[in-house]
Structure 1
Amino acid sequence: MSNIRPIITVIAVLLWTAMLVPVQVTILLFFKQHRYCIPQIFHTGLCWLMRVKVIVSGEIETQRPTLFVINHISWLDIPVIGKIMQGSFVAKKEVEGYPLVGAISKLQQTIFIERTRPAIKGHKGEMQEHLENGDNLFLFPEGTSSNGIIIQNFKSAYFGLAEREINGRHLMVQPVTIAYSRLNGIPLTRGTMGIVAWVGDEELLGHVWSLLKRGTITAELRFHKPVTIDDYDSRKTMASDCQLTIAKSLSRALTGREEP
């Protein structure tokens, strides 16, 4: 019996995907100015099908383009973020080769990059092109996922975009905390966070299947004060400050505290 719900969920997700992919392809071919509408609808549906409740706090920066820098915990981050905002994700190159996931990611205009410093610099032109078109970018500056409790160091190379001018001004950067705080209404702890957090070399499909059997997940997105490189003496300082802001917020979220 425990496998019936995830089987139904997987079938529903596949049908939902099959419905929307042709629509998105058509939009990309003929109505590209609306290219982020279907992905947002798609992610909203995924969250509903997978029983993910998303709670938003703080003000979302409306100036376009904005670079949203977000801590990374799980594959589940993508639909949670995609439900709330429109834009392109910056993902590791390996995602492009994932069956089905890679193809869907391309339809959302995802930018795939290697995680080495030289490769990050090499992709700045592609990212800047998106920004100059007015597209928001969603960036995970840890470069990999964490355990959902402790944030890994933000790589300052990812903040090189903030040093460039977009349409005559420095790019707006908004730190965002993503936190998974509850499972079926019960607070997640260090011992149970692995149900959601996808780290290391854990097999993706196995983790997805395990999560779908568990129940309702509460995800929080906490939006912090936007900044620009003008507020700092270097991109390294900017990266450190954004990391500290998000780390403090993650701790508050996991202990049920509001932002000050």
Structure 2
Amino acid sequence: MPLATTLFRLAALIVTVLAAIPLAVCYPLLGAAGRTAAVRGWCRSLLRALDVRLVVDSPDEPPVGALVVSNHVSWLDILAVGSVRPGRMLAKSDLRSWPLIGSLAARGGTIFVDRNRLSTLPRTVADVRAALLAGARVVAWPEGTTRCGAETGRFYPAVFQAAIDAGAPVEPVTVEYTAAGRPTTVTAFLGDDPLTASVWRIARARGVAVEVRCRPALPPGRDRRMLAAAAASISVLTPRMDRLVGVHPRQVVDSHPA
């Protein structure tokens, strides 16, 4: 994209992030419906600021108190899934150190997991279980790491124990990205890739779209490993994102010129 367009997108992104500060102040005062609408609206605004088109393929939403699990490609996954299934996010503790975003995430009810200290995992699972029992939707990325988007890894079973203990349904979600109608890795956020470099790369890209496909919810069952394997198999990536060609107008949530 031209430099001027890239800078405009970055400016819009900064303004949208800063707009969350007053929202975060009011957030604890909102009811459940208000919080859901606020998270959904802010996530969609951030995607719109970067000119990322959101395409949704979704059945009716499962009951409140569902565990939503998704494959993991990018930090954009948080915005994409949050635009469709807003809820309390389960995120790595590293997110706390992100400028401003970390504080906003904590105030928004994010549940943090320290993957470098396995001794804290039971406490995290207990927090997720409590949130589900309280009727909150919890969104998790059980691969435990991001991938380039060409494949889906195994889902670690720990978080699924929270769904079993709470008797909560599990909704698998698949997130896929294209640029100019073709599968792309421009949104991938891997290894030591700095957040600033990733944001710049996405802001420069032309015609980026993200498709969020929500699958029918699974009953929790009794075996977390079987539940994790079932969810992973349903969330598996397809070779191409053909739905972006001739997609039904009602599925295109945000569509605007690059």
Q: Which residue of 2 aligns with 1:27?
A: 27
Matched, 1:196 2:193: no
Aligned 1:145-224 pairs, distance under 5 A = 145-165=146-166, 170-180=167-177, 182-185=178-181, 187-188=182-183, 193-224=184-215
Separation (CA, whole Å) in 1 of partners of 2:169 and 2:110? 20
CA deviations on 1:199-235 (whole Å, 9 max, x unpaired) are 11111111110110112211111111211232xx621
Q: Which amino acid aligns with 1:251?
A: T
For residues 38 and 135 of structure 1, the distance between their equivalents in structure 2, rounded to whole angstroms, comes to 15
User: Kindly, what percent of the aligned residue pairs are identical?
Assistant: 24
Deviations 1:45-87 (A, max 9, x none): 1111111111111314330110001001001111111112221
Displacement of 1:23 in angstroms is 3.0
How big is the shift at 1:196?
Answer: 1.1
TM-score, normalised with respect to structure 2: 0.86
Question: Partner of 1:6 in structure 2?
Answer: 6
Q: After the TM superposition, which of the residue ranges 171-180 and 102-111 deviates more from structure 2?
A: 102-111
Q: 1:235 to 1:148 in 2, by over 3 A?
A: same
Q: What 5-or-longer segments of structure 2 have no aligned partner?
A: 245-258
SS at match of 2:242: coil
1:155 CA drift (Å): 0.5
Change beyond 3 A, Cα 1:229–1:26: closer
What letter is aligned with 1:37? Answer: A
TM, length-normalised to structure 1: 0.86
Match of 1:17 in 2: 17
The 2-side partners of 1:227 and 1:161 are apart by 14
Q: Which amino acid aligns with 1:174?
A: E
Q: Which residue of 2 aligns with 1:110?
A: 110
Query: What is the letter of the counterpart of residue 75 of structure 2?
Result: W
Cα distance in 2 for residues equivalent to 1:244 and 1:251:
11
Asked if 2 retains the 8 angstrom alpha-carbon contact of 1:177 and 1:246, the reply is yes
TM-align CA RMSD: 2.0
Matches within 5 A, 1:33-52: 33=32, 34-52=34-52
Match of 1:246 in 2: 235
Q: Deviations over 1:101-121 (max 9, x none)?
A: 212212321111112543222
**Structure 1 residues 13, 240: closer, same or farther in 2, change over 3 A?**
same
Runs (5+) with no aligned partner, structure 1: none
The secondary structure found in structure 2 opposite 1:154 is coil
Aligned pairs, number: 242
**Among residues 225, 229, 242, which one is paired with 1:236 in the alignment?**
225
Give the match for residue 97 of structure 1: 97
Q: Is the 8 A contact 1:41 1:83 kept in 2?
A: yes
